[in-house]
Amino acid sequence: MAPTAEPTPELDLLLPEQDVSLAPLPLRAGFPFTVTANIENPSNSPALDVPVMVYISALQERIGYAPFLKVFTVTVPASDTLTIDVPVDWNLAGGEHQLWLQVNRLPEAWQSRLPLQPESESSNNIVLLDLVVDPFDAYVSDLCPGRVDVEVGPADVLPEPDQQRVLVRVHNVGNQAVYNLPVVVMGDNLSGIAYSPAIAPCGGTVEVSVATDRPFAQGESLSVQVNPAGWASGLTEDDFDNNQVAVVAGLAPGADIPLGSGLEDYDFSISTADIETPEAWIVQVTVHNLGTRDAAMVPIRIENANGRKLTDAIPLVQGEGSGVAAIRVGYLWTRGGTLTFTVNPEDAKGAYPERNRENNVAVFALP
């Protein structure tokens, strides 16, 4: 008589919510963090190769948003607790998110890849936490005094009569990121206004193009104001004296704004090794910044061999550091095809001033 096979021991795993933590806090847009959790196995048998899922999604998703997903297996010794650390390198934008953490409990669509193991009670195998990610404009730096202060100088203004516009370089010398600041150009019966993108603190710089409502000629006097005092939607500053400058439209059309320290603050780079495909139709891109200043919403253009393209943005690329974003590219996806990535394209809306663009392009072969 053939021996009867021993039944597979049934698991009894626990995932206590109080043993799930995140660090560092507070969570900030563009900054990586780690999810730490304890998985308990009170039974006398080890839990071999049980699947674990970590999923982070936004309560309100925007165009181009991709959730964070990581699925893997672990072995929990008998009568013991296993601590797992899951790095989250996703560049989550600011706002409200939810964290799903599950062990030996997966959606049916994924169970064929990582089969579950017998367990009579799995209701205690899941933790759902609400996460709040501070947006970039809540970012405060300790590298300079605590104040709101933007400035513009004569060397930061370039009138272009042939283009009917004025290029204005705005510096943020305060310690808090700012965004959507009015940049106003006034002249003899002419005016123009534009709004700045996000500007990193402690010396962050952006270039704003202000179109005027009528043409102007060489020799005309112009007044440029950034965040004018008393503006309804402006910011309150301790010092408004450095927010205004008077210039004469005397530079040759198309001349470059003289290079100052701000233009050396951004130097983005990307390589093929910085691109991954964690899931079909999603690419994870890491962009490096060899400059010293943080940059918000750095544009990135992706193009396939057929000329189809899309433009997205990296929410935050840290100075002398990097930024990571997950981007949906299903529209461009061709099995075995190639994608060309260009970070901070010169002609993109919101592009940063950058002198070295030789390392801004990478070509990636799709699986």
Residue 117 token pair:
């193991």
Q: What fold does the segment set 150-262 form as a domain?
A: Immunoglobulin-like (2.60.40)
Matching fold, domains 17-134 and 150-262: yes
Single out the residue of 8, 4, 84 nearest to residue 46, CA to CA: 8
What is the per-residue pLDDT across 180-191, written as a single tens digit (0 to 9) for each?
Answer: 788 999 988 888
Predicted structure pTM score: 0.53
Confidence class for position 63, pLDDT limits 50, 70, 90: low
What pLDDT score does 255 carry? 44
Are 178 and 198 contacting, i.e. CB atoms less than 8 angstroms apart? Answer: yes
Domain boundaries, the chain: 17-134, 150-262, 265-365
What is the per-residue pLDDT across 21-58, written as a single tens digit (0 to 9) for each?
Answer: 999 888 877 677 899 999 999 988 898 999 999 999 88
Please give the span between the terminal C-alpha atoms of the chain, in angstroms, as a whole number.
Answer: 52
Single out the residue of 110, 209, 118 nearest to residue 169, CA to CA: 209
Are 30 and 49 contacting, i.e. CB atoms less than 8 angstroms apart? Answer: no
Single out the residue of 54, 19, 53, 12 nearest to residue 37, CA to CA: 19
Q: What fold does the segment set 265-365 form as a domain?
A: Immunoglobulin-like (2.60.40)
What is the per-residue pLDDT across 73-86, written as a single tens digit (0 to 9) for each?
Answer: 999 999 999 999 99
What is the per-residue pLDDT across 260-305, written as a single tens digit (0 to 9) for each?
Answer: 333 357 899 999 999 998 877 889 899 999 887 777 778 999 999 9
86: CB partners within 8 A, 6+ apart: 34, 35, 36, 37, 54, 70
Residue 165 token pair:
């516009």
Q: For the residues 301-327, what does the mean pLDDT come to?
A: 86
Helix, strand, or coil here: 169? Answer: strand
Q: Is the peptide bond before 115 cis (omega within 30 degrees of 0)?
A: no
CATH number for 17-134: choose from 2.60.40.10, 3.30.9.10, 3.40.50.620, 3.40.920.10: 2.60.40.10
Position with higher pLDDT, 319 vs 30? 319
